Structure 1
Amino acid sequence: MALVIAIVVGGVAKGLERWNKVLMPALVAILLVLFVVALRSPGAAAGFRFMFHADFHKLTPKAWLEALGHSFFTLSLGMGAMLTYGSYLSTKTDLLRSAVVIAVFDALMALVAGLVIFPICFTFGLQPAAGPGLIFKTLPVAFAQMHGGSLFALLFFLLLAFAALTSAISLLEVAVAYFVDERGWPRPRATLGMGGVIFLLGIPSALSFSRLAHVHLYPGMTLFDSLDTLATNYLLPIGGLGIALVAGWRLARPVALEEFRDPRLFPYWHLAIRYLAPVAVVLILLFKMGVVG
């Protein structure tokens, strides 16, 4: 957390931009190295089949809603990160092109990550659907059995650390930007204050794996799992719904068109942000609540 605070307190150019220029290429480079290693593993073919063998009978409405819900998390939608980073872009930036590039690149990196993990799973007979325990409990055992496994384990967990660091930076910046822009706080004060608050609020979640393991907000869930469920299933979709409603109904059409820039595609986007996106988000919420699906 101290490193995240130190980066964010540096501001946009000296903090966020400088570190992201280092961390993101490093993250991609490590991922590609591990991808090459996974391709050479005995379980590569099985991993590829697991990833790309299509069973369209499983493509149910529930699966679509699960995918839509996952997109909120993986694309940082509904939490203000995209809005905050977008506000720092030049007026010359093509927002439509940037949005497409971000979505495509995110999907590609997710595919590559899957093609790193699943071949290793099948090589050592691991369950690919083991969830978070796969990363922190099972994969280290698999790395220990690999030739040069210590190096690959180091690269893999360095990859996770970089991913966590870049995510933490973007999330802290959302709160900091609010207090700097709306409240007029100096950036160091806003960063230290919000970073400290977030750190303190995160302590119970960290202790939910040990001393607070007996605390349950939801039946059968630790405090960490409960807060994760609350944020992922409810808070992110609600945030996304609010953004869609504001962009579609409150933002003046000429202003939106000026930012969008492409008058040919703008009517389709405006229709989607006004009607399709809110309906999709409401369906996600109802699905998470168990009302549909």
Structure 2
Amino acid sequence: MEKNSLKVAIIDMYDGVANQGMRGIKEILHRFEVENSIPVHFKIFDLRGKGEIPNLDFNVYISTGGPGDPAEGLGEKWENDFFALLDNIEIYNKAHTNQKKYAFLICHSFQLACRKYGLGTVSKRKSNAFGIFPITLSPEGEQDEIFAGITNPFYSVDSRDWQVIEPDLEDFERKGAKILAIEKERKQVDLERCIMSIRFTDEIIGTQFHPEADPIGMKLYLLTEEKKSSIIEAHGKEKYYDMLDSLDDPARIILTQRIILPNFLHKAIGKLQEA
């Protein structure tokens, strides 16, 4: 790999299910390469479908969202391989003070990591969450470089049947983890606000929401007859058309897509250049 380039492993957790997440990640990597004149080389590893797992030859690891119960892989080889990779990244980073490896974990991957690290309770929601919602940064999140330039609250795509709740804050402190963002406040609902982002280590971060989501991909997804019908049935026509309208708002998911993952990549390339 040439100097001042990024080698990225994309870990595909979609298990063959059609999605827009992969396209969004590729778009961010391509735009980062063009805007920063930095070569970006990426390779996709189909972990759940084909058991593919990257080695430690990469600078950056981005692990996607995906369908299903985040506990269904318990004891499966693919999950053990994923957890071993996170362990190996931590071991590598402790042994190398200058050149680190970075991981960003999205939605399903985030829930898996919360199970692995024993941070919060991963539980099934009373109902599916799907839409573009405000997300609140914690005081730690407001100071974290990954969120530099974002608003508080900010908006992102949230699509899940599971959630991470009931954090033991003393346990977080012991493990060196930080809660960076939580679910929007819902005064009319007497339910705990779930965790939306955690910094697991200095180099490993995760989000429950989808920072890779973009207006084009979301619009394609929302315009499918199946999704349109399911949203209208669950939430009504007004909610559906409000979601479509909000896709063009530059202060919503457009801003999120252009800030969070690019900030993560800037941190990785910055440390690589320092090394």
Q: TM-score range by the shorter chain?
A: under 0.3
Give the TM-score normalised by structure 1: 0.23
Greater relative contact order: 1 or 2 (C-alpha under 8 angstroms, separation 6 or more)?
1
Structure in which a larger fraction of residues adopt helix: 1
The structure number with the bigger radius of gyration is: 1
